[in-house]
Chains A and B, each alone.
Chain A
Amino acid sequence: MVEVIIHIVLLIFGPLTLLGFIDRVKSRAARRAGPPILQRWYDVAKLLRKGAVYSRTTTIFFKAGPMVALACTAIAALLVPLTGDKAPLSFSGDIFLFSGLLVLGRFAMLLAAMDTGSAFEGMGASREAAFGAMAEPALFLVLLVATMPCGDASFSTAFSQMADTGGLTRDPGLLLAAIAFGAFLVTDLARIPIDDPTTHLELTMIHEVVVLDHSGPDLAFVTIGYALRMWILSAIFVHLLIPVPSGAPLLAVGTMLAGQFIVAIGVGITESVIARLRMTRIPQFLIAASVIAAIGILVQFLGVA
């Protein structure tokens, strides 16, 4: 029970802070003072107090988009263990529910974007859908690598067994899985080199242009949903690399948090030193991710045999 409470507390306080932390890393890398780490909290608080503007051409799909997306991400967040114990929700096959929820959330946002009837958002929606679909195989192959050894398609079982057997130190396939998952993470979260979250150039946007018309509380939901997505994806990334000890909640949470903030530093530094990919190159990037994950399966299979 305590673990569930800790899990929920982490989900509430972690995500927006993590996002603020990435912003801070990026500004420090550019030798700027940067916004406060809690800036995203202030932004969300401000947005929640504002009214929303709805275009006359939009329907219920536009209003529902951010809420559905946030709800999907929130449920998905309950499936990923954060405290070394089982996740609040876990059952055999939960990895499929997880990926389904991620896709459903994106689908809701795409419908909302198409609903505006704007050329920009239609364009962004088609990009987001295309790249999302291309990233999907990488995700499934990674989840296969993670769950195959324990024979149970569940995050909780897989990660606790990984911790018991030593994870990466015993299974080099996990390293390849982590690399592929890193590629999935930057694609799903629209970070450099796939997308530039700070750009104002509407023609180059992928993820940002989809939410261009949302305002007020809706935009706050979008931001919270995005932060939550980042939080759980980086948690999975940490799990793949570091065996988070089970049965010792304090140590587990500590490892988890440290790992996540290291991931955030990694994302911030990456964004500070490389440029975005040309859009026609993104499919190659994602295919490479899938191939790496597939090699991970091969390595694991040969290793086990």
Chain B
Amino acid sequence: MSASAKSFLNGQCVSRSSIPVLAPQAFREELVTGSQNGARICEMFALPDGPENKLIIALKAHDDLGRLTLISTRVRNNSEFPSSSEYLPSVQAMERALYEDHGLKPLGHPWLKALRGHPDLSHAPSIPHPFLQAEGVGIHEVAVGPVHAGVIEPGHFRFQCSGETVHTLEIHLGYQHRGAIAAILAADPKFRLAVVESLVGDGAVSHALAYTTIVEGLAGCSVPVRAKMLRTVALEIERISDHVGDFGALCHDVGYLPGGSWCPRLRGDIQNALGVLTGHRFGRGYVVPGGVAVKIDYAAVRELDLILGNFEKEFLQVASVALDVPSVLLRFEGTGTLSTADAKMLGILGPAARASGLDIDARRDLPPPGCSNANIDVAVFPYGDVLSRARIRVEEIKHSIAAARGLLQELPEGPQLAQCTGSTPNSVAVGIIEGPRGATTHIGVTGSDGQLVDYRVVEPSLLNWPGLAFAMRGQQISDFPLCNKSFDLSYAGHDL
């Protein structure tokens, strides 16, 4: 079957008619056996197929080959299709979203609960669904949120504990649902980028890059070398900024003041660097289809290089001090362990996956055509605990700084913006960018006039939230904030 599915590269577009349509059972077989053979299911979504049918499309990534494939199956509106979740837990959230968004019921889904539970998404009959419940002597339930003591996004966490030990954690999200996909589709193409950049506040560059990858793929335009390099620098600075923030927050959560006060200051520096490069401290409005929107002169490049150099020196000092203090190590080491097997099963992405021994990084595995970071060093730790997730961030900051400074050094003269107009009709284009939290996947679908008719966003948090729930099993409930911080997941990116 897979021979008929045409494989393509990240950033390419394929015609909708070339996607093989399988029978529902064969579709499930293909998903399950495909992932046993090393493929990763990035997204499942549904498109209308005539007035009475829907086409469920799945995007598979073959990280080892650097190729992507699309397969699909045809089902009648509001009908059922065989669920793969039981064999392939990484798609459970996608199937729940299909049920919620389109009323297509995944038959045999072990936990068919609304993913976001928002009234706007009520295509599925709204059946009240219980929380996971443990029973027994001394078992008690702790409910946290959606309103929290700190100024953070809303999410509900339901713990089943006996004493201080957590048996299970169920994470219920959806409070941040803003109708982002509808807003992207409804927006004037000129302003679409602004909507995409506000999907996840600290991931503006990576989401913008995923979107422009799609637009460029559909237009068939190529990005000038200088722009590719500048975009990559912005992407890496965004990663550094998020990682240093997380590292500081991890220190802060265990009450280690030096890390907790130094890192936010350093994050300010690095955001200023992004400001020097892009004119915006979160990098908004910088990446545009065809290149980058802001010119940079030699003096600014020198300044950027200087900021990055100083930052590296200071950050490595903080990191080596913090990860050398016994009291900090005592808290980080062995806390919230996510095994490699569990991480693989749940389809964990990004730094969390690499800290659990999964060697995946979309920068290297699925290099996007509009960037130049394919030869980045990828750090992997096998242990999967909080310490690994802290150390992976330190390593990635080092690699990102080296990459960004290298690119700035070699920055060629030339145009930074190419013409990028037109669009291929009846196509599907994919843009995958390794953002700070992992592979940020966007999918654009065009209609007969070349305009977007559907748009999908998979923020890595969608797949990583269950990873947090697994990491908490058997842990102390008082370690939950620390574990949560070590994954650093986005609520808005999940709820869209």
Contact = CB atoms under 8 A, between A and B. Distances in A.
B478 A274 contact: no
Contacts of A29: 257
A202 interface: yes
Contact of A278 (B256, B261, B476): B476
Interface size class of A (residues with CB under 8 A): 20 to 34
A203 B144 contact: yes
Interface string A192-227: 110010111111100000000000000000000000
Interface string A124-137: 00110000000000
Contacts of B335: 278
Contacts of B251: 275
Interface in A163-211: 192-193, 196, 198-204
A123 interface: yes
Interface in B73-105: none
B74 to A, nearest CB: 47
B398 to A, nearest CB: 23
Nearest to A32: B261
A272 B257 contact: yes
Contacts, number: 85
Contacts of B299: none
B330 A123 contact: no
The A contact surface, by secondary structure, is loop
Interface string A51-95: 000000000000000000000000000000000000000000000
A204 B477 CA distance: 8
Contact of B476 (A193, A276, A279): A279
A275 B323 CA distance: 11
Interface string B143-154: 110001110000
Contacts of B327: 193, 274-277
A119 B479 contact: no
Contacts of B305: none
A30 B258 contact: yes
A49 interface: no
A192 B255 contact: yes
Nearest to A202: B149
A272 B482 CA distance: 19
A279 B165 CA distance: 11
Contacts of A198: 255
B478 to A, nearest CB: 5
Contacts of A201: 149-150, 253, 481
A239 interface: no
A241 B133 CA distance: 53
A40 interface: no
A120 B150 CA distance: 15
Given A29-B257, A30-B261, A278 B331 contact: yes
B150 A196 contact: no
B328 interface: yes
Interface in A244-278: 271-278
Contacts of A32: 261
B64 interface: no
Contacts of B325: 273-275
Contacts of A280: 164, 476
A277 B330 contact: yes
A281 B257 contact: no
A280 B477 CA distance: 11
A273 B149 CA distance: 25
Contacts of B163: 126
Nearest to B256: A275
Given A32-B261, A276-B327, A276-B331, A202 B255 contact: no
Nearest to B166: A203
Which among A196, A203, A272, A276 has the greatest number of chain B C-beta atoms within 10 A? A203
Q: Which of A123, A272, A277, A278 has the most CB of B within 10 A?
A: A278
Contacts of A278: 330-331, 335, 476, 478-479
A276 B254 contact: yes
22 contacts: A30-B257, A119-B140, A120-B142, A123-B477, A126-B163, A127-B164, A193-B327, A200-B150, A201-B150, A202-B148, A203-B477, A203-B480, A204-B481, A273-B325, A274-B256, A275-B255, A275-B325, A275-B328, A275-B331, A276-B331, A278-B335, A278-B478
Q: Which 10 A-B pairs have the closest CB atoms?
A: A275-B256, A30-B261, A196-B255, A201-B481, A275-B254, A276-B255, A275-B327, A200-B150, A274-B327, A279-B478
Given A271-B255, A277-B331, A278-B476, 20 more contacts: A30-B257, A30-B260, A31-B261, A119-B142, A123-B142, A126-B163, A127-B164, A199-B255, A200-B149, A201-B481, A203-B477, A203-B480, A204-B253, A272-B257, A275-B251, A275-B255, A275-B330, A275-B331, A278-B478, A279-B479
